[in-house]
Amino acid sequence: MSSVHHRTATVDGHEIFYREAGPADAPAIVLLHGYPTSSFMFRELIPLLADSYHLIAPDHLGFGHSDAPPVGEFTYTFDALAELTSGLLEQLGLDRYALYVQDYGAPIGWRLALKHPERISALVTQNGNGYEDGFVESFWSDVWAYGAHPGPDTEPAVRAALGIDAIRWQYLHGVPDPSLVSPDTWEHDHALVSREGNDEVQLALFRDYRNNRPLYPLLHEFLRTSEVPVLAVWGRNDEIFGPAGARAFARDAKDAEVHLINGGHFLLESHLDVVAGYLRGFLGRVLG
């Protein structure tokens, strides 16, 4: 089994943590995590791919082991997180790579693709939304209300997402056998978002999430014009990003490969081998 290295790089004055594995001259894959986790979500996937691919999995600023400056010292937006990710990849000399995106990783990844479309060799979305079709309204209505009118009337509903019960729900909802999901996952994430000041970091990103939606038409145009290969592998029981969000990629991506799996939002925790199998098959076909 290939070794996984745990490294940091300084990007625009901020220490960004990342996991790296695989031969440096192999096709590159950049793995971008979602909320409320970190590159920790890829801890078991990376070794399964590292024999054939060069993998880079960063922690976004404010998450995991990366720096987490307070909101008074850094303006947390998805634009800003994407710029830091872009800076990291340029520092590492990656000028061609596939993207694997999940949850928050998706709007960050879409920005990378739109900024440098020539660098993207393939897209893999695992419950990473790119269409209005994907939003489950029962989950997102509070986020939209808070983004439009942040204040004491709308904040409590989204602040609840920082609690242990809400984070546990993200891992367990839609999973037929919850005993497959380790409690280490939600306890790890909750500990990190509970650090002093990190609540304000997360609230800032909740407010900014609505600014991802105007990117979707640009993403769709990129999919049509670039004909970049797309794999959507999705937990069909996800109550955050529903399965319609996966199917929608087939509207714009030529020959998009879509697989709906009997799982939830964090599919790697319950269906790691299934996802890895689809991923290896897809990457083997499109990257050679």
Enumerate the active-site residues. 265
Give the DSSP H/E element, type plus range, for residue 206: helix 198-208
How far apart (Å, rounded) are the C-alpha atoms in residues 204 and 73? 13
Among candidates 203, 205, 260, which has minimal Cα distance to 237? 260
Residue 7 CA to residue 65 CA, distance in Å, equals 10
Contact call for residues 103 and 128 (beta carbons, < 8 A): yes
Q: How, if at all, do strands 14-21 and 257-261 pair?
A: unpaired
User: 240 burial class (0-12, 13-18, 19+ CB within 10 angstroms)?
Assistant: buried
Asked if 265 and 235 count as a contact pair (C-beta separation under 8 A), the reply is yes
Residue 230, strand partner residues? 123
How many helical (H) and strand (E) elements, i.e. helices and strands, does the chain have?
A: 12, 8
CA 78, distance to chain mean position in Å, is 12
Asked whether 101 and 123 are in contact (CB, 8 A), the reply is: yes
Whole-angstrom Cα distance, residue 171 to residue 163?
13
